[in-house]
Amino acid sequence: MKTVLITGIGRGIGQALSSRFLKEGWSVLGTYLNTPVPANEPSLKTFELDLSSEESIGACAEAIKAAGTKIDALINNGGILVDDEETRLIPDKLRKTLDVNVIGTASFTEKILPFMAAGGHIVFLSSQAGSLGEMDRLEDSHYPYHYPAYKISKCALNMYVRTLAARMKHEGFDLTVSAVHPGWIRTDMGGDEAPTPPQEAAADIFALVTSRPPTGQFWYKGKKFPW
């Protein structure tokens, strides 16, 4: 049985991903923030994780290590959007966003790397919001200057994906590293007007995780997305 580690399975895409992988016969290690997720399935184990706390990140990684399971896939789904209504940069919100979406996510990933199985796949949920190419395409609309802290965080996360993929290749690790744009998803973050249910995004991400695409790329529905 293969094992996937998914951050943020309490709701939204993370919850849909957990359900999809369990349905497909995988063992799921899932993290939650504050509110425990009931582990009603025998193939599901849950761990508390606060990506804004290095202490929590370390404790979670140690708990996962103690589980003694090699991880075939890591899906970095957890993240925050705190400046949804902003059109100007607010430094405190930028710090908070970077702390979770980039620093915490990268720190957690680095601590999980020793537990990854050969041939494994690390996936980061990024966003169209972090694509410089999309910014050029949409420069005449209002889109480029809304929620700047979130955009900056996803752009920075994309560079971590590229540098991690290059490092793994250089050091001879048999790991695929990918970023994925899930689309505009009907979640607490995406809002009720979003056209796509989280189950559809989970299906697309499952297909990516279980394939062997070129490492260090940005994907949307199985096709390369502009950085």
Closest CA to 122 of 180, 170, 65, 57: 180
The parent domain of residue 59 ranges over: 3-224
pTM of the entire predicted model: 0.94
The residue behind tokens 């580690």 is 5
Percent of the chain surpassing pLDDT 90: 79
Cite the beta strand spans of the chain per DSSP E. Answer: 3-6, 27-32, 44-48, 71-76, 116-125, 175-180, 217-220, 223-224
Q: Encoding tokens for residue 212?
A: 């062997």
Instruction: Give the residue-averaged pLDDT of 49-68.
Output: 97
Q: Assign 58 to helix, strand or coil.
A: helix
Instruction: Give the residue-averaged pLDDT of 57-61.
Output: 98
Q: Is 10 in contact with 22 (CB distance < 8 Å)?
A: no
Q: pLDDT of 147-195, one tens digit each?
A: 899 999 999 999 999 999 999 999 999 999 999 999 767 655 555 565 5
Percent of the chain surpassing pLDDT 70: 91
Q: What CATH number is associated with residue 115?
A: 3.40.50.720
Please give the pLDDT value at position 178.
98
Task: Report the alpha-carbon distance of residue 130 to residue 227 in Å, rounded.
Answer: 8
Closest CA to 112 of 51, 172, 62, 44: 62
Please give the tally of structural domains in the chain: 1
CA distances from 102 to 15, 98, 159, 181, 211 (A): 21, 5, 10, 16, 25
